[in-house]
Structure 1
Amino acid sequence: MGYVVRDQWQQHYADGKGFRQLGERERALLAEHTPVPDGGGRALDVGCGAGGLAVYLASLGYAVDAVDFADSALARARDEHADAVGVRWICLDIERDDSAELHEDGYDLITMRLMYPFLRDRSRVLHGLGERLRPGGALVVITPTTEHTPEERRNIALDEDEIRLLTAGWKQAERLDADKLAALVLRGPCHAHTTAVEKRPTTGHALTGAVAVVTDEAGRVLPGRSTRGMWELPGGKTSGPTHTSGELPGEQGSVKFRACVEG
């Protein structure tokens, strides 16, 4: 079953449907491995849903920005956690919307629980979130894995190759078990101090080129390794008088339903 557009997610939350509740093992791992820095810390919960994780992080002492692209999810969060202190609810599509509402000074902790497999542009989103981490901060991805997911629902889980790709761009990557969910604690994005160097525009007679794009069975573009050992996306030159270069457009896949639904 796939949720293709935002309206369907809106309806999901409006119907009172939910997802696997935050477990005690997850709570313990977050408290142990991502404690609030001395003097207080700020957290970003991406894809917060009805707000259970965001409220727990606030109870640890974080000031939390909780974002979701479904208004109905945030309405439920505000209603179900009316007494919560330290949480700011923000309606935001992390892949498409202007992120100006996010805290300009960055975050000590960023969480992505049960939502990473549904991103259409995983590498770009993870890269952007890594740039928002404060020194010493951590990005925690909590996700189902194919090992513990029934075959008919494995499209909402990550396999070992996907997990290796997810963790490859970080100086520290720790994998923890959270009741058959993988909790990936990532620190030190390797791209944080790199600089992009733009080449001179290609001359007009050399604008046409070719590039091979490799995708997995779900249609996601698979990046490769550069000669410097860094992950890179496929790119090619675009022919025409008004273009000098550009990435090849990828086909947008539908957003799949989070089958961790209802515990």
Structure 2
Amino acid sequence: MREARTAVELDQEATARRELEDYYRNGKPPWDSGVTPPELVALVEGADALTPGHVLELGCGTGTNAVYLARHGWRVTAVDLVDRAVRQAREKANAAGADVTVLCGDATRLDEVGMPGPYDLFFDLSCYCGIPPHRRDSYAAGLTARAAPGARLLMFGYGPEAFDDPISGVTADELRSRFAGWRLVDVTPGTNPVPTFWFTLHRTAAAAA
């Protein structure tokens, strides 16, 4: 049963969605550089590279990283909340000849999007850190239910002090608290002028039935 949401929570969700849509409507979003981050490249191509499997990208934007993953043997599903971003991601994948499934939906309501998993890898480039706090447990539960044994989550996020709003930001302590059955194995500061971090989590318990 879907949880009841307060007027404040509904307003937070609507505001966050409008801001995302405005970024894509007005031009290139600042987080969509068109360049795959070296942290993901290291995971896919580095000395301890993962064996390609099924990957779910949360908040895929225009599909740069989804295409990269598909080109390196991963079976890719990607989701974004913004219609315009999804259309651009599909166009980018088609132009590249990359086999990517791009769906429009809410990363905190994966049951409604139709992506049962299981997934060996989850990739999140600043999606979670912009989700209103009251929806973050649902995000964590959705990933946990779809995680293959030993799955990994690579997440980039801004620190809470990066923006002057009550929603944005993420900390290591929060991830340890919200992601039951996962282990936070690495926190690496980003190189941005504002506080940012790369978080790596491993699924340590069997996925929910």
Aligned to 2:188: 176
Which gives a bigger RCO, structure 1 or 2 (Cα 8 Å, sep 6+)?
1
What CA distance in whole angstroms lies between the structure 2 residues aligned with 1:86 and 1:34? Answer: 25
Residue of structure 1 aligned with 2:85, choices 73, 84, 91: 73
Number of the residue aligned with 1:19: 30
1:1-263 correspondence to structure 2 within 5 Å: 4=15, 6=17, 9-20=20-31, 21=33, 22=35, 24-31=37-44, 32=46, 35-37=49-51, 40-81=52-93, 82-96=95-109, 98-99=111-112, 101-102=114-115, 104-120=116-132, 121-146=135-160, 149=162, 152=164, 156-159=168-171, 161-166=173-178, 169-180=181-192, 181-190=196-205, 192=207
Deviations 1:169-192 (A, max 9, x none): 524532234424312111125574
Q: How many residues align?
A: 188
What is the Cα deviation at residue 71 of structure 1?
1.0
With over 3 angstroms needed to count, the CA separation of the structure-2 counterparts of 1:155 and 1:78, relative to structure 1, is: same
Q: 1:166 to 1:177 in 2, by over 3 A?
A: farther
Q: Which amino acid aligns with 2:85?
A: A
Distance 1:27 1:59 in 2: 13
The superposition leaves residues 229-263 of structure 1 with CA deviations (integer Å, 9 ceiling, x where unpaired) of xxxxxxxxxxxxxxxxxxxxxxxxxxxxxxxxxxx
More helix by share: 2
TM-score (norm 1): 0.59
CA contact (8 A) 1:34 1:109 kept: no
Q: Secondary structure at the match of 2:15?
A: coil
**Identical amino acids, percent of aligned pairs:** 28
Compared CA separation, residues 29 and 166, structure 1 to 2 (3 A): farther
Offset from partner CA, 1:49-99 (integer Å, 9 cap, x none): 111221222222211101012111111222344214121111111224644
Larger-gyration structure (1/2): 1
Q: In 1, are the aligned partners of 2:78 and 2:101 still within 8 Å (CA)?
A: yes
The CA RMSD over aligned residues, in Å, is 3.1
In structure 1, the gaps of 5 or more residues are 196-263
Scaled by the length of structure 2, the TM-score of the pair is 0.72
- Unpaired runs of 5+ residues, structure 2, are 1-11
Structure 1 counterpart of 2:125, one-letter code: R
How far apart are the structure 2 equivalents of 1:145 and 1:133?
26
CA shift for structure 1 position 48: 0.8
Distance 2:105 2:48 in 1: 24
Cα distance per residue 1:182-213 (max 9 Å; x no partner): 121111255746x9xxxxxxxxxxxxxxxxxx
